[in-house]
Amino acid sequence: MKIIFFHPENEARQWIHGLEQRLPTARVRAWQPADRQPADYALVWHPPTAMLAGRDDLRGVFILGAGVDALLNQLRQHPQMLPAGVPLLRLEDTGMAAQMIEYVVFAVLGYYRRFDEYRLLQARQQWCELPLADKQDFTIGVAGAGVLGQQVAQALVTLGFPVRCWSQSPKAIPQVTSFAGEQQLADFLSGTRLLVNLLPNTPATRGILDASLFRQLVRGAYIINVGRGAHLNQPDLLAAIDSGQIAAATLDVCAEEPLPAADALWHSPRVTLTPHIAAATLPVLAMDNIAENIRRIENGLPPFGKVDRVKGY
């Protein structure tokens, strides 16, 4: 079994050693530009087009992150980059869910307990107690109810908040009200006090966080975007903050990363920025996930995490 690996930021040696330990019959190599030797599987993150082009022998391409949109965008721009029959496989949870829960819960509790406002009062040297909202009036909506979204929603339920989710198909999550499809988006947004975005980046969801959506939330709502920067219409967000329709926003992702120094987001006191750190792929858990999936394929079983190229996730 032959495996090729490419990641512009991760050290290849760790992955080569780890995968060969987990799959004793495998021979893993870091892909180089001149490499046209056969391969059964590819592990990639932002791969060069030449790495995958013409590789009809591949039995699966593993995407080394939660998002699959970058590779799908490459395939749209370069349709011949990868044969259509080669399965694309995402990492369903490699320690990312626990990290995402920590990030979102921290941000949610900060807004619920009004810590962001206390920081502004501190800067003005004002000692002032702010009233606390009733949790039952602090409805949280999770847009995107995939593996990460479902676990985030469940964590918020345990804190006593009313939680709802919205996705393309209905979800059965204990104590979470499920909304599905375009026809139920307005009902999902109505009454939502804090919106957590965990949608996949697809043509249908790009720019979804815009003025029209913000107007349908409770006035003074909060936004937490841990999906993709492409989901957010940035001028609409800043205008909604200026008008008071949106009270504040926490953004872990931006349309351009790193965020340019002149970008207006840096200067909004009601915007909290983090540099795309909400949930990172943990190599040890990722290798466990990939090795198990390869064993399934080798034993004739259907793999988990298969990407639908049409739907975009």
Number of residues that make up the chain: 313
Three-state SS annotation for 126-193: CCCCCCCCCHHHCCEEEECCCHHHHHHHHHHHHCCCCEEEEECCCCCCCCEEEEECHHHHHHHHCCCC
Active-site entry in 276, 295, 296, 309: 276
Contacts of 272 (CB under 8 A, 6+ apart): 107, 116, 248, 249, 250, 251
Residue 13, burial from CB neighbour count under 10 angstroms (0-12, 13-18, 19+): exposed
Active-site entry in 228, 267, 270, 295: 228
228 belongs to the catalytic site: yes
Cβ neighbours of 125 (radius 10 Å) = 6
Q: φ, ψ for residue 221 (rounded to 5)?
A: -75, 170
Residue 224, burial from CB neighbour count under 10 angstroms (0-12, 13-18, 19+): buried
Residues annotated catalytic, as ranges: 228, 276
